[in-house]
Amino acid sequence: MAPLLTPWQGDAIHGATAAAVAASVANPQSLDFAARPSGTWMGLRRRQRIGQYRIEGRLGEGGFASVYKAYDTVEGIHVAIKAPHDYLVDRETLTSFRQEVRLVAPLDHPNVLPIKTAGVIDGRFVIVTPLGIESLAERMRRRMARKTVLSFAEQLLEGLATAHKRRIIHCDVKPENLIIFAENRLRLADFGLARVALRSLDASGSGTVGFLAPEQALGKPSLRSDVFAAGLIVYRLMSGELPEWPFRWPYKGIKKVRRAYGPGLVDLVRKATAVDDQKRFKDAVHLLRAFRRIESTAIRD
C-alpha cells in the first residue's frame, strides 16, 4: 500500500512543472530570519508592490496567514495572495514547502485550486492563486437551493477524491478553504499548507480545532479524517447547523434535513461523520461513489 502523504499545497500546478514551482520556493537563506524580532509581523499595505503584484486590499486574516486581493501587472488579472505571518515562517517551514509541493503537482482537477506562484518575492514568502468570488463559508450565510447544496457537496467530494486517489491527506477541509468561482465552480484550496500551518500554530499556542476529526485532534490524521470534515460540511449545507463534540446522532436540525432530503443522503452523512473512524468511508473516493449512487433520490419532492 502506498504511504499516506500530507502535502504542501493540493493545487494543480497550471502552466509550470513541479520542479519549476518547487524551485520558486526560494532558498531559505534569502530570508534574513535573524533580523526578525520574535512575534513580529508586518502585513502588506494597500498599493504596495510585491514583485509583479500590486496589493489592493486585505480579504481576510487567520492565525497563520493573511490573504490579499492583488493585481497582476504582467498578466492584467486579479489574484489572491496568501502571506504567512513572518514570525511563523522559518527555514524548516520553507524546506517543508519545497519538498511537499512536488507531491501535489500531479493534482489537476477543476475542483482543486491551482497555484500561480509559491515562493519568496521581495523578501516575503507568498502563495499566489486565482481570485475567487467568495468562500463557501461566506456563501453559507445566505439561503441556497437544494440543487446548489448537492452541487457544492459533489464538487467538494470530487476535489477531495482526486487527492485521496494519490493517498494525499488535506488535513484542513473546511468552508473557508473552499473557494467559489464563476458559475458556482467550487475549488478546494490549501492542501498541505494546512499541515505546516497547524504545526506552526500548535507551536505558537494558537489556532482552533474547527472541523478536525477526533483522531486528528489527537495528532493521528488519516484519509478518514478528511471524510469526517467533508461530512460535517455537507450536513451544514443541508441543515444550516454545524454538529459539535461529542457528535451524537441525531444532530441538531435533523428534522429539517429529513423533510428536505432523502434517507440515503442522511445515512451517508451519518456514516461519514462517525466518531469511530473505522465506521466511516475509508476515503473520499468511496464517499463520492456512495454519493453518486443516491444523488438522484437525494432531494424529496
d(CA 86, CA 77): 26
Q: How many residues does the chain have?
A: 301
- DSSP for residue 165: T
Radius of gyration of the chain measured on its C-alpha atoms: 19
State CA 70 to chain mean position distance.
20
β-bridge mates for residue 203, sequence order:
none
Does residue 172 carry a catalytic annotation? yes
Task: Outline where DSSP puts E strands in the chain.
Answer: 49-50, 53-61, 65-72, 77-84, 117-121, 124-130, 134-135, 178-181, 185-188
Whose cell is 447544496? That residue is: 149
- DSSP for residue 244: -
Which amino acid appears at position 65 of this protein? A
Q: Half-sphere exposure of 242 toward its Cβ, with a 13 Å CA cutoff? A: 12
Choice among 11, 72, 172, 190 that is catalytic: 172
Of 236, 272, 271, 288, give the one whose Cα is nearest residue 257: 236
Provide the annotated active-site residues.
Answer: 172
